[in-house]
Amino acid sequence: MILNQFETALAAVSQHLRSITVEIANYQSGGSGVIWSSDGLIVTNSHVVGGSKVQVRLATGDVVAGAVVARDRHQDLALLKVDAKHLPTPTIGNAEALRPGELVLAMGNPWGFSGALTAGIIHSQGGQEGINAVMDGVRPTAFSQSPPGSVVVADIRLAPGNSGGVLANARGEVVGINTAIFQGLALAIPSQQVTAFVRTMTR
């Protein structure tokens, strides 16, 4: 009985996460993104979008043109705008409340599989020294100007194509944007940092 309820709830959360996750492609790279507003704002990683124009595939299968309207390479964040209305939007959770061992879900587009779901647990939330250590040799500029405690580390299996995709808690609330993989651990930019980035770039 309890297992059936859990499976039903997980399937519903997965469906919601899939609806807000997009696939991004351009001439240089590709990855995932998260719809942030119903009028077409999408958040992804800066390293996912090499140019100023991208193609965005929605969960419906529709492909729309997108433009990079803001970018912060130090935080590895980019804000896109697509010409679309009435898009599904996320519920933003509190990444600062995450605890080691808490269940998290990641949705992205690894290896060409659209809307792939992965589950794992929170490993830790790292300070600046930890960030520098795990990012050494990965992308040296990423997080270089972020405050301590500004990365979520999850023991979750991710693959190329998950970058820019959503990290959510068991309730389906967005708690981070996946940005890198290091020695089997996923690194995500916490939701409060992403929210601050979007707010600053849309003033």
* Residues recognised as catalytic: 47, 76, 163
Residue whose token pair is 């996750």: 21
134 in Cβ contact with 126 (< 8 Å): yes
* Nearest to 48, CA basis, from 185, 195, 189: 189
Q: Alpha helix locations (H) across the chain?
A: 2-20, 128-135, 191-201
187 vs 182: CA distance, rounded Å: 8
Q: What's the token pair of residue 110?
A: 């690894």
93 in Cβ contact with 166 (< 8 Å): no
Distances (CA, A) of 193 to 39, 81, 185: 21, 19, 20
Residue whose token pair is 């960030």: 131
With b for 16 or more beta-carbon neighbours within 10 A and e for fewer, the 61-91 pattern comes to eeeeebebebbeeebbbbbbbbebeebebbe
